[in-house]
Structure 1
Amino acid sequence: MTRIDEGWGRGPSARYEEIAARFRPIFDRIGEAAIERDQQRRLPFEEVRWLREAGFGALRIPAVYGGLEVTLPELFALLIELAAADPNITNIFRSHLGFTEDLLNAPNNSWQDEWLTRLGRGEMIGSGFSELAGLKVGDHSTTIVPDGDFYRLNGEKFYTTGSIYADWINLAAVDGSGSPVAALVPTSVSGVEILDDWDGFGQAMSGSGTARFRNVKLEGVHIKPDSARFPYTPAFFQLVHLASLAGIGRAAAKELARHVGSRARIYPRGNGATSAEDPQVLEVVGRVRGPAYAAGAIVLNVAQALQRSFEANIAGVDPDQTDTHLLADIETSQAVTVISTLILEATTVLFDALGASAAKRATALDRHWRNARTITSHNPRIYHDRVVGEFAVSGKKPAAVGYRKIITPFGPSSEVA
């Protein structure tokens, strides 16, 4: 009797199984066509719609707005399961989930109320931060300038992950004086063009290509009150990638076990009547499954650190008087190289159990390594290792990312004033 789906550990809370049960049938449907989508490069518009209709985009939204109020560990456990079905779709929701954290950490005001309401009813956010023209990440040539009672947006973004599937693009720009400004840009208005031109060998359906903005008219309600972000911003976005890697490892382990279990052909120097009885082949299965398990456990442990950062911020703890946010960042960086190495190795060594037939396009086993290698190329590991080393040796803090100190605490169960 196969035990492929067991042994991954319990969820992060007593209620997790109840939460996950709502989405697992959708995850299963998504996973059934993952190989076909990869081989045909079919964008998962329908699959994203399934998740939106089930409330996946409102996981962290307070119940008063129609959300599920999940904790960060619960969220990341779900992301691992989704990534095991298709890591492209986990990445598609990455910016949307990050904007949700912006809202949850924002002052309690009409702007927050407006956007929590929108997300609670199923609207979706894509990414519009990165540009290829800048000298470094975070440079912006995209502009938003006043135009009478309105604003005009012009520029071009790349790595606009999820935007082709979204209703809005969470966008960073500069104003006429070069000061940072941020906006929510409707994807359906005149002057917005979103291209499916991401040509990476992995994460091919994540919609991470170009978005162009030509004289786009924005209203005041589209402009964010400030461009600051939540205090665990770098850790959160990196941990989504690590959850994707953990899910990739889990999918690779499951598929390898199934292939070994059904494989009839054996090698002359083998040690069993079938591959399923060969102890050396079984050892390879274990060498893939173990790293996948470890990666998931690490992600959920780091998610606890992010939860502590979130709780400190909404409680109004002065960020200058706590190391909670710093430690969330450090714990994430400590996990980056470890998880990356575990999953890249696992998605390579799995081929040793199956021989040349594992390289056939029909199996699509190579997609696991391609997706993992693409994800691990974001935010290079070498910098995370250096940050951790500097912190350990001298206590040096990583470079700061602008964020707001919350003014009016807004907890997941609070009523809106």
Structure 2
Amino acid sequence: MTHLATGTDYQKLANHFRPVFHRIAAGTVERERTRTLPVEQIQWLKEATFGAVRIPVEKGGWGASLPQLFQLLTELAEADSNIPQALRAHFAFVEDRLNQPDSPAQDRWFRRFLDGEIVGSGWTEIGNVKLGDVITQVTAKGEGWELNGEKFYSTGTLFADWIDVFARRADNQRDVIAIVNTHQSGVSREDDWDGFGQRLTGSGTTRFVAADVEQDHVYDFSERFRYQTAFYQHVLLATLAGIARAVVRDAAAGVKARQRIYSHSNGNASRDDVQVLQVIGEISSLAFAVEASVQRATHSLQSAYEAHILSDESVIRDYNTVAEAEAGQAQVIASDLVPRAATLLFNALGASDTRLSKALDRHWRNARTIASHNPVIYKARDIGNWLVNDVVPTSIWAIGRGEG
């Protein structure tokens, strides 16, 4: 019997986690200023079973739908935008398990997630790697596998118990997923991510030197869930929506508290200045448009998830195509509007609000960093090509050194 996660009481779900989100938000600026990784904060989420939000109720989880998951991630991103991105690989791996038939192996993974274990990412290789090539390899060893290689952009891995690694089998050269336990000497993780935004996502280098992998923890990449690219994008979209919420929050709070005014302003206080209030209204409207776009797109993703149990391949393909296209459309909106809102923030405030102690610049830096993932120019092109020429949007792609 297949158990689907189709939704729960959102207010009950959110109310369980909001106290944790509030605790996380209380230290966000200080962590940003001191570049302190949110290790303790992610532990709070583990203890609250946040990683089990999507697990069906029948299996002990919350049974949240995808729209509910991403709404929850938006709330978390408002508190600290680093953390949803750090959990991106975890929720993607959970989603992959949800798309597999019921089995004892699936139940073992669900139990791990219910116990608070989380998964990090090990997919991208940088440097002189040819497009389409994979240097990280798994080799048969005894009753299991041995993993050797190096990954960068290992988002969330510093906090993880397992790593979802994209690798190549040494024997037949097939691309595979290898799930590696981090609690072994063959796995080393570095906090060397030096981006100007999303600094605390644990997105540095991970090395595997004769790392042990269990026999049933290696499977063909072709078996991965169909809407994975759209899913990964949705985590970033929810994070952008959360940043937009935080911009509105901080802009409004800053105007309320501001005592100094200019001699040529429109009132005796910033809170009474009609031009300043217009800026707040514009920022709020941009955030509203982003969150509405993101939430709308999550429903086609839920349809793609529910379609995986169907037998009609053409129907499954159509649902996945729409999910990919709508994720791209929401990305075009969010990549433009959220950095714009983070810039307009300073039109409502003053020069004193550019001080490092307030860390308000983090909103633009974080939004621009997230918007640089999965180039939006190609998403817009894909949408146009789909609408005009019926060409299905790109769902699987790679990055590496081009020829010539």
**What is the TM-score of this pair, normalised by structure 2?**
0.93
Query: Equivalent residue of 1:335, what SS?
Result: helix
Match of 1:130 in 2: 124
Match of 1:380 in 2: 375
Q: Deviations over 1:188-220 (max 9, x none)?
A: 112110000000011101000100001112231
User: Which residue of 322, 326, 331 corresponds with 1:336?
Assistant: 331
User: Which residue of 160, 182, 199 corresponds with 1:166?
Assistant: 160
Match of 1:286 in 2: 281
Q: Give the whole-Å Cα distance in 2 for the aligned partners of 1:217 and 1:363.
A: 45
Query: Equivalent residue of 1:159, what SS?
Result: coil
Q: State yes or no: 1:76 paired with 2:52.
A: no
Q: Give the whole-Å Cα distance in 2 for the aligned partners of 1:320 and 1:145.
A: 37
Match of 1:6 in 2: none
Higher alpha-carbon deviation: 376-385 or 309-318: 309-318
Q: State yes or no: 1:391 paired with 2:391.
A: no
Query: What are the within-5 Å matches in structure 2 for residues 9-408 of structure 1?
Result: 15-133=9-127, 134-136=129-131, 139-176=133-170, 177-224=172-219, 227-319=222-314, 322-401=317-396
Q: Which runs of 5+ in 1 are unaligned?
A: 1-11, 403-417
User: CA separation of 1:29/1:113 partners in 2, compared to 1, >3 Å: closer, same or farther?
Assistant: same
Instruction: Specify the code of the residue in structure 2 equivalent to 1:27.
Output: F
Q: Give the whole-Å Cα distance in 2 for the aligned partners of 1:190 and 1:227.
A: 30
Query: Equivalent residue of 1:183, what SS?
Result: strand
Q: Give the whole-Å Cα distance in 2 for the aligned partners of 1:74 and 1:37.
A: 28
Instruction: Specify the code of the residue in structure 1 equivalent to 2:288.
Output: Y
Q: Contact between 1:66 and 1:120, CA under 8 Å: does it hold in 2?
A: yes
Instruction: Specify the code of the residue in structure 2 equivalent to 1:338.
Output: I
User: CA separation of 1:57/1:217 partners in 2, compared to 1, >3 Å: closer, same or farther?
Assistant: same
Q: Contact between 1:83 and 1:243, CA under 8 Å: does it hold in 2?
A: yes
**Aligned-pair distance for 1:13?**
7.7
Instruction: Specify the code of the residue in structure 1 equivalent to 2:77.
Output: A
Q: Contact between 2:354 and 2:361, CA under 8 Å: does it hold in 1?
A: yes
Q: Deviations over 1:122-181 (max 9, x none)?
A: 211000111114333x63100001123332110000111001101000111101132112
**Aligned-pair distance for 1:322?**
4.4
Q: Deviations over 1:368-396 (max 9, x none)?
A: 00100100010011000100010011110
Identity, in percent, stands at 45
Q: Give the whole-Å Cα distance in 2 for the aligned partners of 1:170 and 1:114.
A: 16
Query: Equivalent residue of 2:207, what SS?
Result: strand
In the comparison of the two structures, how many residue pairs are matched? 390
Q: Give the whole-Å Cα distance in 2 for the aligned partners of 1:369 and 1:271.
A: 28
Q: Contact between 1:235 and 1:328, CA under 8 Å: does it hold in 2?
A: yes
Q: Which runs of 5+ in 2 are unaligned?
A: 1-5, 398-404
Q: Contact between 1:131 and 1:139, CA under 8 Å: does it hold in 2?
A: no
**Aligned-pair distance for 1:105?**
0.5
Q: Give the whole-Å Cα distance in 2 for the aligned partners of 1:369 and 1:329.
A: 26
**What is the TM-score of this pair, normalised by structure 1?**
0.90
User: CA separation of 1:148/1:77 partners in 2, compared to 1, >3 Å: closer, same or farther?
Assistant: same
Q: Contact between 2:8 and 2:65, CA under 8 Å: does it hold in 1?
A: no
**Aligned-pair distance for 1:358?**
1.6
User: CA separation of 1:321/1:164 partners in 2, compared to 1, >3 Å: closer, same or farther?
Assistant: closer
Q: Contact between 1:143 and 1:174, CA under 8 Å: does it hold in 2?
A: yes
Q: Contact between 1:154 and 1:213, CA under 8 Å: does it hold in 2?
A: yes
Q: Give the whole-Å Cα distance in 1 for the aligned partners of 2:7 and 2:115.
A: 26
Instruction: Specify the code of the residue in structure 1 equivalent to 2:325.
Output: I
